[in-house]
């Protein structure tokens, strides 16, 4: 594959403008223009400033020389696979890849990425001499989140050359991203007699070529050391041989002795220990050093439990649905409202809304990556972006973990949230409830079809035999397809919760009463006018009926103290409204189910008669 030069192809030459002297190349799609301006240079790579004509933005064009690597067709195939992997990476702390291609004639790999106007983290730190520890912690968290994302792949993606020169920052936002990924495997082949990487940042095991993703953690520790001291590790050494000798002998750089703060020094040393003792990126993210001060709670935190709602939301055409969770909690007069939706199997879309006592509200939307993010790391970023006090980090982290526990199966929180869950409100996960509900639905539906068969007894023996054969071959799911469609549309139109909703702020559920979650997993609630008609279908028992009565009367417990505060009264009213919506929704669902069964019954009778 060859690149299109500035002179263009013969076919379109007549339409090209006069060549720009500042332009070096144009990519094969004629979308990206590479300028002469060099913004970075390494042993194997040169980075140029480029322009994306379609989006009208400046980008970075990296060109890597691989002429000694491509010695066989198999090498080229592996290189294509590596480039394809780089293009698939998507994370807030990984440099965004726009396009890439291999020029097998010029023996180069060309990669188009986003451009960082503030340059590398090394350049940024050199420019700004005085940086507060809080800023360094913010950068540290972002680097670790990027590493956690890379190492979470199977097999793990190892950077192999992590250093501050390869970490980039948008200075106006404080956004940090890891760049210069991949291709290290292939570059190693082109320089077999020497070790690829930057000796000052290389883990000892890299020299022995027996390493895993924890080699990146060692390099990360050296990055931390440079950020704190503004000094290159092992700057006291004159050459790479001296560095190798010290590294292989486990002699730490002199710069480490210049770190005065014992907590910072301890955190860096955790990254520089031998590989078997090193912590992973995910473990470092919850290290006390990154949580200190940020994770504390002020004395004014509310003891009230949050109000949680879990429901299914349908698409506009009602063809599919996705699960949503909403959490509402108050703190010092401010209302924190967190909403989460399933984005895909690896991420969740979250929206945080904070309304103060004066009515002003702030909103922030972000993507939570399940395989790399933690509640603390994300809440720390949110606090910084919204300019909230550090005490809010733990408060928001608790909300995030609580939401994910209700949305994601087997989610393990990184902060303690047991105090936010009522001890009597134990529940199964949403997916388990769906399976239980589906099994109950199929069982009762099959029983309903048997009732239809009994009603055909008035037909002739031959007709009854045909009806029995049709019913035996009938797919229950297919028979109820019209019903399911009606339910989806109704749910969307009425904007009701069709799975479960509960308020863990209400802690007085006892063992003899049915929680809202259990209420939604049952299948016996219907309007009073249809109770006698549907009793045989739903298998309702007097005991189950009494439980529903308890739920209906729940908001008006006689033992509630008359001296409740105003906010408790408001919460009670809100719970009553939620319960009313559920009663209406359940009644409507079972009405439609009953109508669907009658429709099946009518169609079967017509078919048998004809």
Alpha helix (H) residue ranges in 275-362 = 281-285, 288-291
What's the per-residue H, E or C state across 3-66?
A: CECCCCCCCCHHHCCCCCCCEEEECCCCCEEEEEEEEEECCCEEEEEEEECCCCEEEEEEEEEC
Which residue bears the tokens 């979650």?
Answer: 517
Choose the catalytic residue: 161, 165, 180, 294.
180
| Active site annotation includes 550 | no
d(Cα 585, Cα 590) in Å, to the nearest integer?
9
- Do 85 and 184 contact (CB within 8 A), yes or no? no
- Do 329 and 307 contact (CB within 8 A), yes or no? yes
d(Cα 124, Cα 134) in Å, to the nearest integer?
16
Encode burial over 76-91: b for 16+ CB neighbours within 10 A, e otherwise. Answer: eebbeebbeebeebeb
Judged by DSSP in three states, 544 sits in: helix
Structure tokens that stand for 136 in this block: 């360094």
d(Cα 498, Cα 480) in Å, to the nearest integer?
17
- Give me the phi and psi of 567, to 5 degrees please: -70, -30
Judged by DSSP in three states, 402 sits in: helix
Which residue bears the tokens 């409204």?
Answer: 577
Q: Does residue 184 have a cis peptide bond before it, meaning omega lies within 30 degrees of 0?
A: no
Q: CA dist 342 to 398, 500, 568, Å?
A: 19, 16, 31
Which residues, at least 6 apart from 421, have a Cβ–Cβ distance to it below 8 Å?
A: 305, 402, 504
Encode burial over 399-436: b for 16+ CB neighbours within 10 A, e otherwise. Answer: bbbbbbbbbbeebebbbebeebbbeebebeebeebbee
The set of catalytic residues is 180
């Amino acid at each position: 594959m060859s690149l299109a030069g500035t002179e263009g192809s013969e076919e379109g030459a007549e339409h090209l403008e006069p060549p720009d002297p500042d332009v070096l190349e144009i990519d094969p799609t004629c979308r990206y223009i590479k300028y002469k301006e060099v913004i970075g240079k390494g042993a194997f790579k040169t980075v140029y400033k480029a322009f994306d004509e379609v989006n009208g933005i400046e980008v970075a064009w990296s060109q890597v020389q691989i002429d000694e690597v491509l010695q066989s067709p198999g090498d080229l195939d592996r290189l294509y696979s590596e480039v394809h992997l780089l293009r698939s990476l998507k994370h807030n702390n990984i440099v965004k890849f726009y396009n890439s291609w291999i020029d097998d004639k010029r023996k180069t790999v060309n990669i188009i990425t986003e451009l960082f106007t503030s340059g590398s983290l090394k350049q940024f730190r050199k420019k700004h001499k005085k940086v507060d520890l809080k800023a360094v912690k913010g950068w540290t968290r972002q680097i670790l989140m990027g590493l956690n994302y890379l190492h979470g792949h199977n097999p793990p993606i190892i950077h192999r050359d992590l250093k501050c020169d390869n970490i980039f920052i948008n200075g106006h936002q404080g956004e940090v991203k890891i760049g210069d990924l991949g291709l290290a495997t292939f570059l190693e082949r082109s320089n077999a007699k020497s070790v690829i990487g930057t000796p000052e940042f290389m883990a000892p095991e890299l020299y022995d070529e027996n390493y895993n993703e924890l080699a990146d953690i060692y390099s990360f520790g050296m990055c931390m050391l440079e950020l704190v001291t503004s000094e290159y590790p092992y700057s006291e050494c004159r050459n790479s041989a001296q560095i190798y000798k010290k590294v292989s002998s486990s002699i730490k750089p002199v710069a480490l002795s210049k770190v005065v703060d014992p907590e910072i020094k301890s955190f860096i040393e955790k990254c520089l220990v031998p590989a078997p003792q090193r912590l992973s990126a995910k473990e470092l993210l919850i290290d006390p050093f990154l949580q200190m001060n940020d994770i504390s709670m002020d004395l004014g935190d509310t003891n009230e439990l949050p109000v949680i709602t879990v429901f299914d939301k349908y698409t506009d055409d009602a063809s599919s649905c996705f699960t949503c969770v909403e959490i509402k909690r108050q703190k010092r007069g401010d209302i924190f409202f967190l909403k989460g939706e399933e984005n895909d199997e690896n991420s969740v879309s979250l929206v945080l809304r904070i309304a103060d006592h004066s009515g002003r509200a702030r909103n922030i939307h972000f993507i939570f990556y399940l395989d790399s993010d933690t509640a603390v790391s994300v809440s720390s970023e949110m606090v910084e972006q919204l300019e909230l006090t550090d005490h809010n980090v733990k408060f928001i982290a608790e909300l995030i973990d609580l939401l994910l526990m209700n949305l994601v199966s087997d989610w393990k929180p990184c902060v303690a949230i047991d105090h936010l869950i009522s001890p009597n409100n134990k529940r199964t996960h949403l997916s388990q409830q769906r399976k239980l509900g589906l099994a109950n639905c199929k069982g009762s539906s099959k029983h309903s079809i048997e009732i239809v068969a009994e009603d055909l007894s008035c037909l002739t023996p031959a007709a009854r035999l045909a009806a029995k054969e049709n019913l035996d071959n009938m797919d229950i799911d297919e028979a109820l397809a019209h019903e399911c469609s009606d339910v989806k549309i109704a749910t969307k139109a009425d904007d009701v919760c069709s799975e479960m909703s509960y308020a863990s702020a209400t802690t007085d559920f006892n063992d003899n009463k049915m929680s809202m979650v259990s209420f939604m997993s049952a299948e016996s609630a219907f309007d009073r006018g249809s109770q006698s008609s549907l009793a045989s279908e739903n298998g309702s028992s007097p005991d189950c009926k009494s439980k529903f009565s308890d739920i209906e009367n729940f908001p008006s417990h006689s033992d509630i103290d008359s001296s409740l505060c105003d906010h408790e009264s408001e919460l009670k009213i809100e719970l009553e409204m939620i319960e009313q919506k559920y009663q209406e929704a359940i009644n409507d669902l079972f009405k439609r189910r009953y109508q669907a069964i009658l429709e099946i019954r009518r169609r079967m009778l017509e078919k048998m008669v004809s």
